[in-house]
Every structure is written in C-alpha cells, then in structure tokens.
Chain A
C-alpha cells in the first residue's frame, strides 16, 4: 500500500517536477540587500484544472486513463466558462494580491511584463533597475477532489513555485513552493489547509453555485499570495 503524493496531480498534467527542488530561505541579512523587486509576469497555465484525484478509471489502464482525461477536459472547460461568466481572472487577481503583499512587506515593486510559455522559472530576466527579480510560476489552480463521493468534496487548490533572484549576480536568494489544499503529506512544499467551509459534494454542485465557487478561489488566492509574500519577510 502506498500513499500517492504527487502522482495523482502529476498524472493530470500539472508541472510538478520543480516542486522537488530544495527550499532556500531568505534571511534578514540577505533581505537587507533587497529594496526594489522586479516582479516579472507570473506564469499561469492556460486555464483552471478540476481534478478528481482517484477514479474507477485508474484501475483500467490506458482505456481508463483516456476516459478520465476526457472527463477532466470537460470539467476544466465548464469551470473555465464559469470563471469567465463571473468575470474572474485568476492571473489578474493573483498578481494584484501578490503585488499588494510585497508592498506591505516594505518592498518597492516594479512590474516587469514578460511573455512566457514554459511552466518553469525564467532563465533570463529583462534589464531593470531592481535589486532582485521575483519569479512566480503557478503550476495549477482550480478545484480538487480526492475521489468520488460527497465525503470527498471538491475544494479549491493553487500550487505555486516562487524564486527570488539577485539582479547583480543571478544567485538565488530564495526558492520555495506553496500548495493551498493539503493534498498528500508533502515534505518540500509549504501547505495551507483548505477552508473546510468551502466544499462541493460533486462537480455538478460546484458549477451550480458560481458565487461560492468564486469565493472559494478568492480565499485560496488570498491565503496563497499572503504565504508567498511572507517568504520575503524572514523572521531571522
């Protein structure tokens, strides 16, 4: 018997390999060298994921996997439509909350627009008068259920990787990952437990209640960006 940690998410297409990367903390000595942060445009996937982490199809090999993939694509599409009809843009709200959080920690924040199509950190950063670049990769966001049944409700999730890179010499000052919705029992990722009051017994209930579906994403976004911001506010 084994507990699947990343496999259930990874099998569903999230870019998770980088989450095995070591956590590198910022400390007060290092942070004191950073006053102005260049926040490069965070990387987001093309749309939300609605993940059913265990299903009957998983026991039926390739055929089951294909069926599961088709069902997931339908759920993703329907949830994407829900977000659009509610005028909810996760990239916009996430970036705004993150910017506000960094400013509240005392940093000057310069937005640095970049085009990015790879689900990984950038290798080069645009020239700018900043002390460090903050590079954020949102590996996935949406809703996640551990399995079928009302006792395994759909709850919001966001998975983020973040890295602070010194402008002067490209050294990595901080690197970490944050997961909203404590899935598995992860060792190298900061986890934020999902709010138990936001859950939907099945996908139909989720799409039938857009206001609360959005509220769940907003809570997840607030908690996640707050935690990511605190990575740049070291206690020691």
Chain B
C-alpha cells in the first residue's frame, strides 16, 4: 500500500471514529402530555416578540414547554409569538423541524390583540420541505399573535419518506492536496408526530421579485 493511500485511509478512519464519538442519540418522540399541568388557555405572558426582518426564532419543544388544554379536553404543547407592528402585510414562515424521529404536527392560529382567533391552519396546510414541515403565509396588521401548537389528534401517528443525497468527504493526501470522495445515500426516514421537536418562525417583508 502506498504512503498516500495509507494516509487517506487513516484520515478516513480517524474522521469516522471522531464522528462516532461525538454522536449523541436524539431524545425519543414524546407522544403524550399525560402528567403535565396544562392551563385552560395559552399564557400570553409567555409570548415571544417577533421582529420583522430579524433572524428566525428557534424554539425547542421538550418536557418543559407549556401546554394548554382546550374546553374539549385536548392537550397541546404550544409557543406564542407577538407579531410585529406595521401597516403592511408581511411574510410569516413557520417550520416544524424534527429532532430525531420526533416531529411536531403544527396547528397555527392567528389571533387579534385580545387573543381571539382570526384564522387557523392545520397540519394539512403545511408541506414537507425535505424532512421539515413548512408553511408560509401573508400576515396582516390586525393579527397580533401567532400561536403554534401541537395537533393533539395526530400524536403517535406519522410515516416515513425516502430521502436521497450525496455526501462529499475531503481527505488530505498529506502533501498539501485533497481527495474528494462522493458517496450517495438513500434513507427511509421515519417521523413520529410528537410534542417534542423544533419550531422555527420568522417574519419578513414580502419580497419584491420584479
């Protein structure tokens, strides 16, 4: 075996070992809110301000995320945002990204300043963007709060989807050069609708594209 080949293989082995050592297993899907203390309505004092044009706000849902129990007795983990002030419609983006297999089936509500529902959209209005569920909508100045909640009827459900891609790994030859190895993959990604996961929200001006 030549020295160059040996160094490439050694680098690959080291990279694999170090990656394996750093890997932390994601938490399993949490498919129930049993045992959690849920309030009869969302707590508006917990609302997070959302600024127009600011970086996206990322909220991780876990065992400490507040929950709310509807009059029908259905429970949802939720996060509440105070929407930006303005006089023009703007673009609101809501994304549910998985943590491991756990994915929140989001239900969003747009509320007025008194907390009354103006519009809402269920999981079916979201579309997959890779492994995440996303929805973009035009928000209007009279809409003052965004409530994103886990859909109670979906918990424990889910599915799977094929995902393909290519991983490129660069290895040093040890002589100032690199070798790029392209490796294709196909995965059957499983997802379970849960009350843990990540919700990402941003508010942007509606783009002018022409």
A123–B210 CA distance with the chains assembled, in angstroms? 9
Q: Which residues of B contact A130 (CB under 8 A)?
A: none
**A187 with B130: CB separation less than 8 A:** yes
A1–B138 CA distance with the chains assembled, in angstroms? 37
B4 within 8 A of A: no
**B210 with A4: CB separation less than 8 A:** no
Q: How large is the interface on A (under 10, 10 to 19, 20 to 34, 35 or more residues)?
A: 35 or more
**B169 with A152: CB separation less than 8 A:** no
Q: Which residues of B contact A170 (CB under 8 A)?
A: 210
Q: How far apart are B108's CB and chain A's nearest CB, in angstroms?
A: 9
B167 within 8 A of A: yes
The listed residue (A4, A153, A175, A190) touching B165 by CB distance below 8 A is: A4
Instruction: Mark B9-40 against chain A: 1 for CB-CB distance below 8 A, else 0.
Output: 00000010001000000000000000000000
**B165 with A5: CB separation less than 8 A:** yes
A30–B132 CA distance with the chains assembled, in angstroms? 26
**B137 with A152: CB separation less than 8 A:** no
Instruction: Mark B167-210 against chain A: 1 for CB-CB distance below 8 A, else 0.
Output: 11110000000011111111010000000000000001011011
**A151 with B121: CB separation less than 8 A:** no
**A54 with B162: CB separation less than 8 A:** no
B117 within 8 A of A: no
Q: How far apart are B143's CB and chain A's nearest CB, in angstroms?
A: 10
Q: How far apart are B133's CB and chain A's nearest CB, in angstroms?
A: 11
Q: Which residues of A contact B204 (CB under 8 A)?
A: 22
Nearest neighbor of A187 in chain B, beta-carbon distance: B129
Q: How far apart are A190's CB and chain B's nearest CB, in angstroms?
A: 5
Instruction: Mark B72-109 against chain A: 1 for CB-CB distance below 8 A, else 0.
Output: 00000000000000000001010000000000000000
Interface residues of B in 146-179 (CB under 8 A from A): 161-170, 179
**B121 with A147: CB separation less than 8 A:** no
A171–B19 CA distance with the chains assembled, in angstroms? 48
Q: How far apart are B7's CB and chain A's nearest CB, in angstroms?
A: 16
Q: How far apart are A90's CB and chain B's nearest CB, in angstroms?
A: 21
A53–B183 CA distance with the chains assembled, in angstroms? 9
What are some 12 contacts across the A-B interface (CB < 8 A)? Answer: A1-B19, A1-B169, A8-B166, A21-B209, A25-B136, A25-B138, A146-B184, A147-B183, A152-B164, A152-B186, A153-B186, A188-B129
Shortest 7 CB-CB distances between A and B: which pairs? A147-B184, A146-B184, A193-B161, A185-B130, A235-B125, A54-B184, A54-B182
